[in-house]
Homo-oligomer: A and B are copies of this chain.
Amino acid sequence: MPAAKFRPRVYLAGPEVFLPNAREVGAEKCRIAAEAGFKGVFPLDNALDLADLGKAEQARRISQANEGLMRLCDALIANLTPFRGASMDAGTAFEVGFMRALGRPVAGYTNTPHDYLERAKLVRTGPALPFDADHPHVEIEDFDLAENLMIEIAIRESGCSVVRNRVGGGHEMTDLTGFRQCLAELQRLFPGQAP
């Protein structure tokens, strides 16, 4: 019997965990990751039993589980698509930083083609939150990047690039074209993993 092939574990970070069909989306990402030679690890994989717990303890267990999963993963792919503002989901940004500090490769994709600079101008002129309108003199990063430089450079220094695609029609959060491109980037970093 041949030894089981090593499949690098990839943490699948992104705001999809908030979709009504999050588990289904996670399963699809894991299926695509497997085709590329990786073991996908979706945050909800823990199947935590939280029903009888208070909110604070639920939050604590989810955090603890996800930090534990990240420590067991070899790489991360982040969905950087803007979420409730100019930038990506804050939890996903936390996770990119977490894996970067551990020295593990981070890849990322966004389903908008626009620079951070363009998006930030949209939010500043909108009435979304009082804060944005009250500080017109705050500098907007101008580095031709899709996200805050700490995020995008962490991805570049990992040997990847932020993959941008123009996605519309309500598929901004779920289109997986960029995800597949990230897997291809990770294949270059983990040679011999393609099935």
Binding site for B on A (CB under 8 A): 15, 18-20, 55-56, 58-60, 62-64, 66-67, 70, 81-91, 93-102, 112, 119-120, 122-124, 126-132, 134-135, 137-145, 147-154, 156-157, 168, 170, 172-173
- B123 near A129 with CB under 8 A, answer yes
- B152 near A59 with CB under 8 A, answer yes
Assembled-state Cα–Cα distance A66/B127 (Å)? 32
Interface-central residue, A88, A101, A150, A157, by most chain B CB under 10 Å:
A150
Q: How many identical subunits does the complex contain?
A: 2
- B87 near A97 with CB under 8 A, answer no
A72–chain B nearest beta-carbon distance, Å = 13
- A93 near B86 with CB under 8 A, answer no
Residue of B122, B143, B148 touching A128 (CB-CB under 8 A): B122
What residue of chain B has the Cβ atom nearest to residue A132's Cβ?
B84
Residue of B58, B81, B137 touching A131 (CB-CB under 8 A): B81
Assembled-state Cα–Cα distance A138/B94 (Å)? 20
- A66 near B150 with CB under 8 A, answer yes
- B172 near A134 with CB under 8 A, answer yes
- B135 near A129 with CB under 8 A, answer no
User: Which residues of B have CB within 8 Å of A152?
Assistant: 59
Residue of B19, B58, B89, B135 touching A139 (CB-CB under 8 A): B19
User: Which residues of B have CB within 8 Å of A119?
Assistant: 129
Assembled-state Cα–Cα distance A55/B144 (Å)? 7
Query: What would 28 A/B residue contacts be, using CB atoms closer than 8 Å?
Result: A20-B137, A56-B143, A60-B156, A63-B157, A83-B85, A85-B86, A85-B87, A85-B128, A86-B128, A87-B87, A90-B150, A91-B93, A91-B148, A93-B97, A94-B148, A94-B151, A94-B154, A95-B150, A97-B100, A119-B129, A123-B129, A126-B126, A127-B127, A131-B173, A134-B170, A134-B172, A135-B172, A135-B173
